[in-house]
Structure 1
Amino acid sequence: MPVYQITTSGIDLSQEQRDTLAQQITKTHHDVTGAPDPFIRVVFTPMPLGVMYTAGKIEPSLILYGACRAGRSDQTRNELLHALYDVLQKVVDLPPDQVVVAISETESSWLMEGGLQLPPPTHDAEVEWMRQLNELFPGKYAQWT
């Protein structure tokens, strides 16, 4: 379920940078949380310079806003936050004051994917959810069970 939205203003990302960011954000989220890759989404929203402000002034900026399930430890959230920031810096190499990373959490009972409510982030609940998904979509998620 995690959805990462990268909004840029005055920063033109190349297709190669978008591809790399999408791949690295997916890998990072998977490595830190264990979430299966097919459920990690990355969306790019480019905006022209002049529609995003910092301290009331127009400045180039990049915001990575992530939404994911609640229930992970503070250590996991901190690791994810810092790892995502590092990915952005490696790929885009912006001044730190032009980059914002924010992660918002939503209770799993308020989320749906594949027509099923998401389980809490516990092993047993996720195994059962994947079993149900595999019944609904035979073979599609077999490698992730």
Structure 2
Amino acid sequence: MPVYTCTTARSALDAPTKAALATELASIHSRINHVPSTYVNVVFHSLPEEDLYTDGRPAAPLIVNGWTRTGHPEAQTDQLVREIADAATRVTGIPAERVLVIIGNSPARFAVEGGRVLPDPGQEEAWLRGDTG
């Protein structure tokens, strides 16, 4: 259901660190938004160092851009963004000042997974049983 895209410089994260971060993101999202972690997608974009800038200068940030379904309580989204930022720093060693986490959302009906339109938040159990579109 959710998608997290992590963008870094090529040299910033090795394969074990990416795996650890993906596991952590799945765990956090699953716990806070009450969906199985098997539905949490994490994608890494590793760019050449000369392709990442902050303030017009080469930089090495970690940008985590997430998408979730509209309708989760505001407190959950606040907790989600904070825990992801903390985990990103803890797992990768990238300083908090270099970590940017953005959570965007749109209605569940704007996404299809496994051939079915995603359920609204709170309707996941019925969706997982196949009781809804």
Task: Report the TM-score, using the length of structure 1 for normalisation.
Answer: 0.85
What whole-Å deviation, never above 9, does each CA across 1:30-68 have from its counterpart, x for those lacking one? 011111112101111100111121111111111001011
Corresponding residue of 1:142: none
Alpha-carbon distance in 2 for matches of 1:106, 1:89: 27
Letter paired with 1:131: R
What whole-Å deviation, never above 9, does each CA across 1:52-102 have from its counterpart, x for those lacking one? 211111111110010111101110001000100111111112222211100
Percent identity, aligned pairs only, is 30
Alpha-carbon distance in 1 for matches of 2:35, 2:94: 28
Give the alignment of 1:1-145 within 5 angstroms. Answer: 1-9=1-9, 11-122=11-122, 125-132=123-130
Letter paired with 1:130: L
Point out the more displaced range, 3-12 or 54-63. 3-12
The CA RMSD measured in Å over matched residues stands at 1.3
Alpha-carbon distance in 2 for matches of 1:130, 1:32: 18
Point out the more displaced range, 91-100 or 28-37. 91-100
Alpha-carbon distance in 2 for matches of 1:95, 1:87: 11
- Given that residues 10 and 61 in structure 1 are in contact (C-alpha distance below 8 angstroms), is that contact kept between their aligned partners in structure 2? no
Query: Which stretches in structure 1 are left out of the alignment for 5+ residues?
Result: 134-145
Larger radius of gyration: 1
- Given that residues 12 and 60 in structure 2 are in contact (C-alpha distance below 8 angstroms), is that contact kept between their aligned partners in structure 1? no
Task: Report the TM-score, using the length of structure 2 for normalisation.
Answer: 0.92
Alpha-carbon distance in 2 for matches of 1:96, 1:126: 33
- Given that residues 85 and 96 in structure 2 are in contact (C-alpha distance below 8 angstroms), is that contact kept between their aligned partners in structure 1? no
- Given that residues 11 and 61 in structure 1 are in contact (C-alpha distance below 8 angstroms), is that contact kept between their aligned partners in structure 2? no
Three-state SS of the structure 2 residue aligned to 1:101 is: strand
Query: Which stretches in structure 2 are left out of the alignment for 5+ residues?
Result: none
